[in-house]
Amino acid sequence: MELIKRPRRLRGTEHLRRMVRETRMDKSSLVYPMFVTEGSCIKEEIPSMPGQYRYSLDRMEEELARLCEVGVSSVMIFGIPVQKDEVGSGAYAQDGIVQRAFRKAKELFPQIYLIGDVCLCEYTSHGHCGVLCGQEVDNDKTLELLAKTALSQVQAGADMVAPSDMMDGRILAIRKTLDEHGFEHVPIMSYAVKFASAFYGPFRDAAGSAPAFGDRKSYQMDYHNRREAWKEAALDVEEGADIVMVKPAMAYGDLIREVKDRTNVPVAAYSVSGEYAMVKAAAQAGFIDETSVICEMAAGAYRAGTDIYITYFAKELAKCMDEGRIG
Ligand code: PBG
pLDDT at 1: 79
Whats the size of the chain, residue-wise? 327
pLDDT at 176: 98
pLDDT in tens, 66-122: 999 999 999 999 999 999 999 999 999 999 999 999 999 999 999 999 999 999 999
pLDDT in tens, 235-249: 999 999 999 999 999
The preferred substitution site among 119, 126, 218, 279 for testing ligand 1, maximizing ligand atoms within 8 Å of CB, is 119
Report how far residue 185's alpha carbon sits from residue 113's, in angstroms, rounded to the nearest whole number. Answer: 14
Residue 312 per-residue DSSP state? T
- To the question of pTM greater than 0.85 for the whole model, the response is yes
- 247 classed as catalytic: yes
pLDDT higher than threshold 90 for residue 327 = no
Q: What percent of the chain has pLDDT over 70?
A: 100
280 pLDDT band (50/70/90 cuts)? very high
202 pLDDT band (50/70/90 cuts)? very high
CB 165 within 8 A of CB 139: no
Give me ligand 1 centre to Cα 57, in Å.
21
In the chain, % helix, strand, coil (3-state, to 5) comes to 45, 20, 35
pLDDT higher than threshold 90 for residue 23 = yes
Give me ligand 1 centre to Cα 18, in Å.
35
Query: What integer best gives the mean pLDDT of the chain?
Result: 97
**Does ligand 1 lie within 6 Å of residue 295's CB atom?**
no
Q: Identify whether 248 is preceded by a cis peptide bond (ω within 30 of 0).
A: yes
